[in-house]
Each structure stands twice: as C-alpha cells, then as structure tokens.
Amino acid sequence: MTTNPQQPYQVLVVDDEPMVCQLLSDMLNGPHYQVTACEMAQQAVDFMERNRVDLAFLDVSMPGMSGFELAEKIRARHPEARLVIITGHWAAEFAEEVKQAGIDRVLQKPFAIKEVRSLVEDLLPRQS
C-alpha cells in the first residue's frame, strides 16, 4: 500500500459494463485516488503487471476470466491490495470463492455513492 502521503492510491476498476466502470471512476477520481478502468480482465492483468494496485473493484462475471481468477492474480502480484468483488447476483456458493481469492468486501449492484465511499474509507487508511 502507498506510504507517501503525496501520492494518490491506485484504484483499479474492472467490469465488462462500461457504465459501471465510468460510474466508479467518476465516484473515486480525485486528489486521493487515481482510477484506472478496464472493461476486460486481460487489460487489468497488463495494467497490474506494470503498476501498483492499492484497491481493485472486480466484476464477478466477465468474459475470459472471472473476478475471482483476476483477484488471485492481483493478490499474487500485489499482496497488500484491497479487493472488492462486484456482483448483481450474489449467491451463497460465492462465499467459498470470496474466501479463497482473498476478497476483502462484496459490493452488490446497484450500489449507492455513499456505500462506495464508505467502503473505500474503511479499506484504505486516510492520507495526511
């Protein structure tokens, strides 16, 4: 996780719905967060191999790679990253995958701005 208070947190948003990427980017972009949005999991893999990831929002169901598979790749490369799975269809069977992938939180669609901001504040320490 970032230790330089002048450096914004690197937030990765991965969802195959462009509207979700845009919404989360708009909610979070600012002086404390630098948001990168990807509509394909492979784009996110390429990004995280070259860049730090402090927080990632990952859609559970995407073509080519699930959010859980992507979470495991991010966790392997960035063990300190905080991971949030996004889903519109939560199912009890996801509970074991959440645990195995090291997911910190689950965010259900539709979500509210207040809910996202509260979640981010809980997961990332405030910077000076």
Phi and psi based region of residue 43 (left: phi greater than 0; alpha: psi -120 to 50; beta: remaining) = alpha
What is the pLDDT at residue 88? 84
What is the pLDDT at residue 58? 97
* Confidence (pTM): 0.91
SS (H, E, C) 30-99: ECCEEEEEECCHHHHHHHHHHCCCCEEEEECCCCCCCHHHHHHHHHHHCCCCEEEEEECCCCCCHHHHHH
What is the pLDDT at residue 125? 83
What are the structural domain ranges in the chain? 9-111
CATH number of 9-111: 3.40.50.2300
* Distance, CA of 127 to CA of 74 (rounded, Å): 23
What is the pLDDT at residue 2? 47
